[in-house]
Structure 1
Amino acid sequence: MQNLMTSVALALGLVARAALWLAGAGLILMTVFISAQVFMRYVLNDSLIWSEPASVILMGWFIFLGAAVGIREGYHLSFDVLLYFLPRGAKLWLFSLSDMVVGAFGIGMTWFGSQLAASAWNVKLPSLGVSGAVDFLPLVAGGCLLTVFSLERLARRAAGLPTARFGDADPEAA
């Protein structure tokens, strides 16, 4: 079981790294778009009509991809005061409960994001000329990754492997 989980962790580590690189590229591209818009508006007295909606879509991508990777690595926000006073077994049970709740949230993001994308499929964004579903695809992709990474954390914990939370392991080792 541990060998299988190690292989899965390596594969999902590559997925997480790719998601993080895409999120970083999206952040840089959004910064370029906004900078170009400011230059065009205040220096050339013209405007790029596509820069704001494209930047908002990119922001959705880097937020949801980055959040999913943060869940995998254990860097998400949490209220940890109680955990410092509990024995290890109780901590692991609460970590598992937290991962189940986050996984359920990811399923909800995927389900409802898909419904939103389907409802906006035939709507065309005028400034970009693409389907309105593009606005909701980051929600679906982030929800899928959130669910998969939460399931991975549960499976790793069940197999007795560290999950990179509270110093259990180096995040790079996963």
Structure 2
Amino acid sequence: MQETVLKLSSVVARATRVFLWLAGAGLVGMTALIGWQVWGRFVLNDTPTWTETTSILLMGWFIFLGAAVGVREGNHLSFDVLLYVLPESVQKLFHTISDLVVIAFGGGMVWYGWQLAETTWATTIPNLGITGATSFISLIVGGILMILLSLERLLRRSVGLATSRFGEDAIEE
């Protein structure tokens, strides 16, 4: 079973690397668009109106993709002081509870993001001419990824494999 989980983790590690690169590209893209907006406003005296809206959409993507990768790599802040004095079996239980809470949070992101997308489907983002639901797709995808990556952490722990925690090196396969 460990061999199968290691193969799955290898695929997940490559996918999270892609998510991280996409998040980085989104950050660079947003920065370039804001730079273009400033250039247009102060140098050309002709502000491109679509850049701000597009930047906000990109920001949603890089935030939620990066947050999902942070879940897998254990890079989110946590209060682990108590865990250092507890037995390893209790530590694993607490880490499992933490992953279950992240799954519930991701489920909330998907559920409420879907409701928001349904509510805004008929509206149009004026500067871009696309449906208002586009604003919430990154929230839904981020929630799905958080759930899947937390499930991978639970699966790894259930077969006796290590998972990353804040301040430790990331698990690479």
Instruction: Normalising by structure 2, report the TM-score.
Output: 0.96
Moved more, 80-89 or 96-105: 80-89
Contact 2:75–2:167 (CA under 8 A) maintained in structure 1: no
Aligned residue type for 1:92: K
Contact 2:78–2:166 (CA under 8 A) maintained in structure 1: no
Residue-pair matches, total: 173
Aligned residue type for 1:158: S
Aligned residue type for 1:113: G
The residue number in structure 1 matching 2:172 is: 173
Q: Kindly tell me: are residues 167 and 38 of structure 1, through their superposed partners in 2, closer, same or farther at Cα, counting changes over 3 Å?
A: closer
2-structure distance, mates of 1:167, 1:57: 30
Deviations, residues 80-125 of structure 1 (Å, cap 9, x unaligned)? 1111211111111100000000011101111111111122111110
Contact 2:33–2:55 (CA under 8 A) maintained in structure 1: yes
Deviations, residues 119-151 of structure 1 (Å, cap 9, x unaligned)? 211111000111111100110010000000011
Contact 2:75–2:166 (CA under 8 A) maintained in structure 1: no
Task: Say whether 1:113 aligns with 2:116.
Answer: no
The residue number in structure 2 matching 1:163 is: 163
The Cα RMSD (Å) is: 1.3
The residue number in structure 1 matching 2:89 is: 89
Aligned residue type for 1:97: I
1-structure distance, mates of 2:96, 2:11: 22
The residue number in structure 2 matching 1:9 is: 9
**Uncovered stretches (5+) of structure 2, i.e. residues with no partner:** none
TM-superposed deviation, 1:166: 6.0
The residue number in structure 2 matching 1:123 is: 123
TM-superposed deviation, 1:24: 0.4
TM-superposed deviation, 1:173: 2.1
Q: Kindly tell me: are residues 157 and 20 of structure 1, through their superposed partners in 2, closer, same or farther at Cα, counting changes over 3 Å?
A: same
Aligned residue type for 1:124: T
The residue number in structure 2 matching 1:40 is: 40
The residue number in structure 2 matching 1:23 is: 23
**Uncovered stretches (5+) of structure 1, i.e. residues with no partner:** none
Instruction: Normalising by structure 1, report the TM-score.
Output: 0.95
